[in-house]
Structure formats: C-alpha cells, structure tokens
Chain A
Amino acid sequence: MGRVTEVLEAQALTKVYRMGEVDVHALRGIDIALHEGELMVLLGVSGSGKSTLLNILGGLDTPSSGRVFYRGRELSGADERELTRYRRDHVGFVFQFYNLMPSLTARENVRLVTDIARRPLTPEEALALVGLGDRMDHFPAQLSGGEQQRVAIARAVAKQPDVLLCDEPTGALDYKTGILVLEVIERVNRELGTTTAVITHNAPIARMADRVVTLADGRIASEERNETRAHAEDLRW
C-alpha cells in the first residue's frame, strides 16, 4: 500500500472568538487530515466547531493557534491575497443557502468561476454533471431549492478543485431533494475523484463517507472508517 497523500492537514488548531466580554473557544486543539480522493463527513451538533474548522481549512478564516497545510504548503499565516488565491485555484465550496448570484442564470453563475479558473470544465459540462443540462438559462428565482443547490455544486466543481468543502449542503432542503443533492456530491467524488468534506448535523449522512469524524465542544470526539460506503440513494432519515 502506497503512502497516503494528504491534501489538507491541520495540527493543534485552536480558534477563540471574542464575543463581547466572553471568549468563545470554537476549536480546542484539533489534529485532522483530509486524504486524497476520500469523502469525509464531519458530524457534530450546532456549536461543536465543525463550521469553524471547515472555514479554516477552506481559507476563509485563520486559526488562533496551530498550523494548516495544503499539500505540504503552510496556509496558517498566509495573507489575504494568498488565501484568495488558494480559494480561487484549489477549493470548491457548497453552502447551506446556495449563495448564487440572483442576477445571473445557472449557466452564468457557473461561468463566474470558469472564467477565472485554470483548467475548468465548461459550464455546460458542469451543469450536465449535476443533472441540470436542461435548465441552464434559468435564473435562481426560477429554480427550486434543490436545483439551486445543484447549481451551487456545479459552480463549485466546474473549476475542478482539489478539494470540495460542503457546509450543511442539505440543511435547507427536504428529504427527497436532499438525497438528490447528496447523489451529486457522491458522483463528483467518484467520477472526478475530488477530495470532499461534508459537514452535517444529520447522522445518517455519515454512512456515505469513507471516514467519519465527530466533533463535540471544539474537540474531536471520535473518528471511524466505514467498511463500505452507502450509496446516497440508500440513505434514510
């Protein structure tokens, strides 16, 4: 067995927010790595620190202490410009509330990213990948929530990122639509081989992961590997 390549690695991460008079310890010393090509689910209740961790890994936030490496290059201590560059070239994000541009069609939302990426898919390829080949010229206001989230995924994967970070991607969706979105994430991970991390508070989703890390109170509470990954369509909650 060859050496496991680590796409992202964090060592002894802490994050303290100052909320008025009180210090909030969001992360209390986390060591974690994201391996090449895997699908990891980060499980935790609200306030467990999972979003903070994802934001730091995605270059949206900086840790209070500890170090973060992307393919061996240190991200902690990078400046605003370098972090922007990192997000632009290497990271794809999917959020709970889709964050599409309401004034752009599905195709144009994807083009926003493909225009600035190094080796992108075409917007049409990316939208076909998420099953929206026939709704490319619709504006967000004309799409359902699930469709909007699929556009967001198409936008995230169109640049062919090294890592796809999804923060509660099904949080705003009903069960059926949620499954549909998870199927797309699963397909991207399998077909494009994109290293993927999915944050959720919804435990059944963990079954689709290679590896499940559970966070509680800013610390890693447990880490386990699934012997077999469940297909997204077989998930129930």
Chain B
Amino acid sequence: MVSPLDKKLLGDLGLMKGQVLTIALVVAAGIAAYVSLQSTFHSLEDSRDAYYERYRFGDVFVHVERAPESVHRRLEDLPGVARVYTRVLESVTLPVEGLVEPASGTIVSIPGGREPALNGLYLRQGRMPEPGRADEVLLLETFAEAHALEPGDTVPAVINGTLRRLRVVGIAMSPEFIFNMGPGGFGGDDEKFGVLWMDRSVLGPAFDMEGAFNDVVVRLSPGASEAEVIAQVDRLLDPYGTLGAQGRSKQTSNYVLESELAQLSNFATVIPVIFLGVAAFLLNVVLSRLVHLQRPEIATLKAVGYADREIGLHYLKLVSLIVLLGTVIGIGAGAYLGRAMTDLYSDYFRFPVLRYRVDVSVAVASVVVSLAAAFAGALVAVRRIAALPPAEAMRPAPPARYRRTLLERIGLDRFIGPVGRMILREIERRPLRTVLSALAIGMATGILVVGRFNFDAVEHLLDVTFQRSFREDATVAFVRPMPARVVHEIENMPGVLHAEGMRSVPVRARMGHRWRDATLNAYPAGGDLRRLVDVYERETPLPPRGVVLTRKLAEILDVDVGDEVAFEIREGERQTVSVPVSGLIEESFGLNAHIRDDALSRLLGEEPTVNMVLMRIDPLEWQELEQRLIDLPALATIFRPESLIRQFREQSGEMLMTMTLIITLFAATIAVGVVYNNARVALSMRSRDLASLRVLGFTRGEISTILLGELAIQVLLAIPIGLVVGRLLAEAVMSTVDPEMYRLAVVIEPKTYAFAAVVTLASGLLSALLVRRKLDRLDLIGVLKTRE
C-alpha cells in the first residue's frame, strides 16, 4: 500500500520532471567522474602494488662506475638493508630496421638463467636465456610489440661499440619498466626505447665487469629509513664512482606512474566536488521554492497531525530519489568511462595484468557522498518547514520586500526603465543566489577552458619548436659519430639547398652529489637551422665558450652561470669533461646542455664529428634525394619535422575531438542544470507578475525579457568568472606535471576562451528556450483569481 505522502511524492516528481532530470544529470556527471577516476586510480594502484610485491621491486637504486663483487656483502650488512641485488646495466643502441629515429636502450644482466633476486622478470613468452649463451636475450614486451619481434627473431644491438645480432628467446616485462622512457626522452616511446636482458657471464665481460657490478638494487627492511640507507650506501660506494643512490620516488618508471596516480587522485576529488556542489546548490534552490509553493499543503499535513520529522523526511525522500537517479546513471556511466580510461592506460603503463574493477566501496561512497551533498543543500529548506506553525503556514507567505538598487541609489535610474528595474531589484534581493549561480555556470566555462588547454599548450610547444627552433626541412641521423665532411657530401647532393652538422651526446651532468642524465647538443658556429628559443619565444645566442643549460637542469644541479659542471660522456671514450656554464635557457621539454661544436671537440680532444645532418631542401627533388640519403653509410634514420607535426596533429586532432565532446557534455550539463532550474524557479515565482503584465498588454517577447534578462545577467557574469577559473585550473593542472619532463607555458588560445564562452551561452540559450515554451502557455486568467 502506497502511503498518501508517497503518492504526493510521485506526483511532485512528475510535475517537476524537467528539473528532476537536469539535476539528476549534474549529479550523474559528478558521480561518473568520481567512479571512473577512482576506479581507474584503484585499478592502477592495486596492479602496481601487486606487481611490485610479486616481482620484488627494489626500494633504493644506485649506479656506480665499477665495484668488485665483494662489496655486495658489505652492502647487505648495512643496517636497514634487507636484500641486495647487484648487476651490470649499460646503455645500448638498437639499430632496428625500419625505424624513423634511432632507438636507444638498456641492457641488463640476469644471473645464470635464474630469476633476478630483485626487480624480477615476468616472462610473457618464450624462455630464459641459457647460461653462457652469448647470443640469447630477453626483450622488453613493448619494444617487441612495436617492432613485431617474437621469440626466434633477431635484434641488432650495439654493445660497447660492437654491433651484434642477438636472438630473442623470450619476451619479458619488469616492474622497473612499467613506463618506458629513454634518457632525455620526450614522453614514453615504445618504439624508440628497448630493454634487453642477457646472461651476466656474457654481459659482464663485454663491459669489463667480470667479478664486478655497476648497478645495485636494494630492498629495505620493514621500518627502515630510506634516507639513512641512501646515505650509508652513498658513503660505502663512494670509492667506486657512485652517481648517488635514489629512492623509488626518483626511479623513472615509478616516478611517472606516481605522478599520474597523484593527478588521477586529485581529479577524482576536485571534479566531483564541483559537480556535487552545483547539485547541492540546485537542490537548495528548487526545494526552497517547492516548500514555499506547498506551504498550505504542509500546513494541512501539520494540522491533521503529521510530525515535522515525517514531513521533513518526505522532502528528503524527494531529494534522495533525484540524487539516486543521478547516482545510478553516474555509476553506470562512470564504470563505462573508467574501463575506457583503464584501457587507454594499459597502452601507456605495462602491467602483467591490469584488471579493471569498480569497487563496491566506490559505488557506496558515491551514493553516500552525493546524498550528503544533496542533504546539505536541502537542509535549510527542510528546516524551514519544521519551524512553521500550522496556523501561520496556512496563511500565504508575506509579500517579498524590495528596495531601490545600488545603481538607482547612485543616480543611474534615469537610464533604467521599469522592466530593467524589476530585473535588477530581483537580483539585488537575492544577491547570494545570483553570485552562486554565476559561479556554478562559471565552473562549466572553466571546465571547458581547462579541457582544451592541453591542446593549446602543445600547439604552442610545436609552434615554438618547429617554427622557431627546429628550422630544417629534413634531418638524417647516424648510428655513430661521423667525420664532419659528411656534411659537405650531403650539401653537394642535388636537392639540398643548405646543410649543417650537429652532434648530440648522451651525458650525465654532475655537480657534487647532484646529477641528471641529459643531452649535450653541439652546434656549428654560424649555424642557422637550429636555434635556442625559450618558452617565451625569445632567442638565446650560443656563446663560443661554455654551455647553455636548460634552466631546470641548472636548478636540479644547483649551478649558476660561471659554475663548472662535470659532464660524463656516455659513449666513445666515456671521458669526463668540466665545462663552465655560460648561460641558462627556459626550455619546454627535456634536460639539455647546448655547446658550440668547436668547443666540444676541443674539450674531447677529437676531430669534429657529427651524428646528425640538418637540411634545407628543394621539395620538388625530395624523392630522388631521399633515395640517395638512404644509401649513406651508418645511417640511422631520416625524418622530416613536417611529417612529424602532421602525424602528431592527426593523432591529437582525434583526441581533441573526443575530449571536446566529453567536456562539452559535462559542462553543458552544469550550465543547463543551473540555468534551466533557475529559470523554472524564477518562472514559478514570477508567473503571477508575468501573467499580469500579459493582461496589461505586454507581448510574450516583452515578458520573456523580464524573466530571461535575469538569467542572461547570470550567464554574462559567469563567463568572465569561468575564464578566470579555467586559467586557474589550467595552472593547477600544469603544476602537477613533472617539471623535469615538460615545462609547458600556460598558454590559452583566444579561440579556446571563445569556445568556452560560446558553449556556455548556447547552453544558457537552450535552457531559456525550454522555459520560454512554458511562458507561452502561461495561464492568464488563473493568476487573476488567486492571491499569491
């Protein structure tokens, strides 16, 4: 048996269906964001934890030049150290066929066909290399996939200067390579970063590491202090050329994963808070109005003996139903979106198993959180019911009091007609509602701005990089440094208008205990094809002596102009050179050191060499030229910035479309929710006035102006607020990006602002049209017969 109150509830919901739906959708958007982000976060975190535990991921990592195996024991004896695993780890070049750019990689030793003690391996396919086999390796899954390599295939690798063809016997993954990025890389790149695992008895001798190691993984005892262990390890390994021990937080793959998890977790809080805040506000507005309209009914219920609690509960039930509808839609949509996000992540972060699941606790939490937000919004209105004595409730509410607005009091009333005054006085009577509405709609605008900002920032980066900095039409790269005369050979080829050589060297930049892997780029004097351009698009000249450092690198090393920085060259003779810093440059990505090529060859005591040749070309002769370039000896790759940009824009264009669609839906949900509900409430409050005006001979258009003018002001106030909010959100997003990888300027294109403003206006307009239809059906005669 349905109680009469519950019947009334269903009746009320039916009458309010537009409002019920728009508010439920705002709740749904918040819950969808919450569920999808939380469940993605938990799925990633659980997978990471399981992976780290099962495959014994280390806690502390340290690289040395060369330490005898006897040191292993002394490391293990350090307090706080539970387990020590020593190994040989070196950089390799992987000149795989068909590569667009040279692949770099790491080769890691494994102990005689056994599982490593720490940083274990998950063998995806094939088998472990047999002990003593010099030609067998395991290959990292992502690299294998990117090049379609399978067990039985061979992979070329330049190990300590010697090109070898190695047989892939197994495909593996490891917790230290969940995210793959080579040194100085530009984000993850499966194709251009590979990892090989090889038997230590073979790899050791190749790098002169027999009975010795150059890399250590340490597992801490429970409760041990990471900082103390690092200090002790550094002290112990100091004589062996340590580069300084690092905790997990600095380990590349873990670092990127952690940053992503932190960002997800932030978003999982901020976005739902915005949406549920807006929903709470809307419920407050709508419920306050409903309680006002139902004053006589409430009074009757009280008069016949219903308790305040029962009546209050009745309205809370109404709110709960709206919220639950939103929550159900939200959990469904969130579960779907979360799966899609997790699938995207599984291309990016490699786990043996990345199992997506929506935690029951997340679903329960979303119900609880949304109900709490709704009740917070509804509470004031519901408490007003309880405070109402039945006799008073039966009388109509006292007429609203109005006064002259500030604008009129300062004498601007001459410019405002009665209709304008009605609008302004209504706004001034409820300033908080106007401000909150404008803020809520502003959030929608802000979400639109921040959603598209990433693309603006990357476009700006592309622009600075390829319009101002990388000015060549085409580039050839070599697998090893070539004598400088190759530049002239290329310049003499038909179709080449101009050519310049460049040398880029992987280095470890070091100042005391501080170090970072970086790229040292050498440019010819008077070169024109590569320029140093900072994020503000200012050009920095390259001085004849010393190096210009990426400002971030200088900060990490704590050096300034005039200081000497040590560069450990990580190829060839592997010597260490000391170079004064002659300048700093604010660059968008990577950690670099820039130097003149003659200065570099003086430092290295070598003849000038190049490993890249940059060209200006005649596009009409490109095809024949490309054929000639392919025949160059030791060629690693040929690429054209133009095609890189085109490819990038194609990929990001699709992303931009999808992203724009999703955020537009989310933002429009808020904007429509706020404007529509405010309009409905305003219509309900003003229908009597509006009908009276119609009787007096005002047209439909004229009364629409009165009703919608107030909303138009809210929307117009919201847009500038939203643009500021969007910029602040963009800055907040940027601050969560790893500054050692990207330092994108917060650049927001005018067209992004315009897009956000237009979508907000359009949502407002759409809501206005929905309400306008109701305005046309205003009951003129009905309102004349009743007292408000």
B399, CB-defined interface residue at 8 Å? yes
Residues of B within 8 A of A112 (CB): 418-419, 693, 696
- When distances are taken between beta carbons in the complex, the residues of chain B under 8 Å from A81 are 699
Residue from A85, A93, A101 in contact with B695 in the complex, judged by beta carbons closer than 8 Å: A93
Q: Which residue of A is nearest B405, CB measured?
A: A103
| Contact indicator B697/A85 (Cβ below 8 Å) | yes
Which residue of chain B is the closest to A104 with respect to CB atoms? B418
CB contacts (< 8 Å) of B402 on chain A: these are: 102-104, 139, 141
Which of A81, A108, A109, A111 counts the most B-chain CB atoms under 10 A from its CB?
Answer: A108
Asked whether B106 is an interface residue with its Cβ less than 8 Å from the other chain, the reply is: no
Which single member of A85, A104, A140, A172 contacts B787 (CB below 8 Å)? A172
Q: Does A155 contact B (CB under 8 A)?
A: yes
Cβ of B401 within 8 Å of any chain A Cβ, yes or no, is yes
Complex Cα–Cα for A80 and B425 (A): 30
Best-surrounded residue of B426, B696, B786 (most CB of chain A within 10 A): B696
Which residues of chain B have C-beta atoms less than 8 A from A155's C-beta? 696
Interchain CA distance A155-B702 in the complex, whole Å: 18
- Are B697 and A88 within 8 A (Cβ)? yes
Roughly how many angstroms separate A84 CA and B699 CA in the complex, as a whole number? Answer: 6
When C-beta atoms are compared, the residue in chain B nearest to A156 turns out to be B696
B697, A139: Cβ atoms closer than 8 Å = no
Q: How far is the CA of A51 from the CA of B785 in the complex (A)?
A: 10
User: Any chain B CB within 8 A of the CB of A97?
Assistant: yes
B699 touches A115 (CB 8 A): no
Alpha-carbon distance between A89 and B698 when the two chains are bound, in angstroms: 10
- Whole-angstrom distance between the alpha carbons of A93 and B417 in the complex? 22
A116 near B: Cβ within 8 Å? yes
- Nearest B residue to A172, CB-CB: B787
Classify chain B: how many residues form its interface, as a range: 20 to 34
Q: Which residue of A lies closest to B688 (CB)?
A: A99
Residues of A within 8 A of B403 (CB): 139
Complex CA distance for A96 and B697, rounded to whole angstroms: 18
What distance in Å separates the Cβ of A214 from its nearest Cβ neighbour in chain B? Answer: 21
By DSSP majority rule, is chain B's interface helix, strand, loop, or mixed? helix
Q: A91 contacts which chain B residues (CB < 8 A)?
A: 697
Contact B418 A88 (CB under 8 A): no
C-alpha spacing A85/B688, complex, angstroms: 20
In the bound complex, do residue B698 and residue A116 qualify as a contact, i.e. CB atoms below 8 Å apart?
yes
Q: A101-B689, A139-B403, A172-B787 are in contact. Are A111 and B418 (CB under 8 A)?
A: yes
A85-B697, A115-B417, A116-B698 known; A101+B401 contact, CB < 8 A: no
Identity of the chain A residue whose Cβ is nearest the Cβ of B787 in the assembled complex: A97
**Residues of chain A contacted by B702 (CB below 8 angstroms):** 116
**A20 to B505 Cα, complex, angstroms:** 89
| Any A CB within 8 A of the CB of B360 | no
Interface: B694 (CB within 8 A): yes
Smallest distance from the beta carbon of B639 to chain A beta carbons, Å?
69
Residues of B with C-beta under 8 A to A69: none
Q: Taking the complex as formed, is B355 at the interface, i.e. its CB lies under 8 A from any CB of chain A?
A: no
Q: Is the CB of A55 within 8 A of B421?
A: no
Q: Could you tell me if A60 and B421 are in contact, using CB atoms closer than 8 angstroms?
A: no
Partner of B784, one of A95, A104, A116, A172: A95
Contact A101 to B692, CB < 8 A, known contacts A84-B697, A88-B697, A140-B399? yes
In the assembled complex, how far is the CB of residue A64 from the closest CB belonging to chain B, in whole angstroms?
15
Q: Which of A36-90 contact B (CB under 8 A)?
A: 51, 55, 58, 60-61, 80-81, 84-85, 87-89
Using Cβ atoms and an 8 Å threshold, which residues of chain B touch A172?
A: 787
- Supply 22 A–B pairs (Cβ within 8 Å), ascending by A: A58-B695, A61-B781, A80-B700, A84-B694, A84-B699, A91-B697, A96-B784, A97-B786, A99-B692, A101-B422, A103-B402, A103-B421, A103-B422, A103-B425, A103-B689, A104-B418, A112-B693, A112-B696, A139-B402, A139-B403, A141-B399, A141-B400
11 further A-B contacts with Cβ under 8 Å, apart from A102-B402, A103-B689, A155-B696, are: A51-B785, A60-B780, A61-B781, A96-B784, A99-B688, A102-B400, A103-B421, A104-B422, A108-B418, A108-B421, A111-B417
The 7 closest A-B pairs by CB, nearest first: A88-B697, A99-B692, A87-B697, A103-B425, A103-B402, A112-B418, A108-B418
